[in-house]
Amino acid sequence: MFKKIIIKLTIICMFIIFVINTTLLYEVSGGSMEDTFKNNDWVLINKAYFNINREDVIITKWKDNLLIKRVIGTDKDKIEIKDNELYLNDSIKTEKYIKEKMNNKNLSVIVPDDKIFIMGDNRNNSIDSRKELIGCINKGNVIGKVIFNFGYKGYIKFIIVILIFCTIIWNISNIFFLNKKRLS
């Protein structure tokens, strides 16, 4: 009996260690990603990502700040803004996630290798790759991809989710380690 409990607790601990090492909880600060993410929302980040794709929402380091933005372009993509419309590789980009039509000066950028072009979903209230100050971001500065939005006070929801997963793992381990008695 004691051995079974130790095995179950070991499985739960391994799960918790895995979650801690591959995820990060981050509080959104500011309105640059509205309406997708609002100020004070909590998001779960996957730190064990393997590649960065267009439209991924990422957390990246820039100077002493952490930015939450959407990836618009990657290696060698041509990004253009003409008449407040976004073009990706000479095709107009339809974006359902932006808060409102952007009001921006014309721009043309070819994304260098190992860099990404990022923008906030709230285009008129976002400091991002459109600004010369930031420009294209090194892929090495990306901390992780956003995989879940817990919303306001999301850290409480995160703890609840972890407890639910631990309960599920405990119950699954019960299935594998129960003493099955045959009826006679």
The string of pLDDT tens digits covering residues 19-30 is 777 888 888 999
43 in a structural domain:
yes
* pLDDT (tens digit per residue) in 55-69: 999 999 988 889 999
CB-count burial class (<10 Å; 0-12, 13-18, 19+) for 14: exposed
What is the model's pLDDT at position 155? 67
171 in a structural domain:
no
What is the model's pLDDT at position 34? 92
* pLDDT (tens digit per residue) in 97-115: 898 888 989 999 999 999 9
What is the model's pLDDT at position 182? 43
Kindly state the tokens that stand for 159: 């703890």
172 in a structural domain:
no
141 in a structural domain:
yes
128 in a structural domain:
yes
**For range 40-50, the mean pLDDT:** 85
182 in a structural domain:
no
| 97/87 Cα distance (integer angstroms) | 16
Domain of 106 in residue numbering reads as 2-163
| 141 pLDDT higher than 50 | yes
The rounded mean pLDDT for the chain is 85
DSSP state of 141: G
Query: 164-180 as b/e, with b when 16 or more CB fall inside 10 Å?
Result: eebeebeeebeeeeeee
177 in a structural domain:
no
Q: How confident is the model at residue 181 (pLDDT cuts 50, 70, 90)?
A: very low
What is the model's pLDDT at position 171? 72
Query: Which of 96-100, 114-118, 175-179 comes out lowest in average pLDDT?
Result: 175-179
- Which has the higher per-residue pLDDT, 21 or 175? 21
What is the model's pLDDT at position 183? 43
**Number of domains, the chain:** 1
Q: What CATH number is attached to the domain comprising 58?
A: 2.10.109.10
State the sign of the Cα–Cα–Cα–Cα dihedral 67, 69, 74, 77: negative
184 in a structural domain:
no
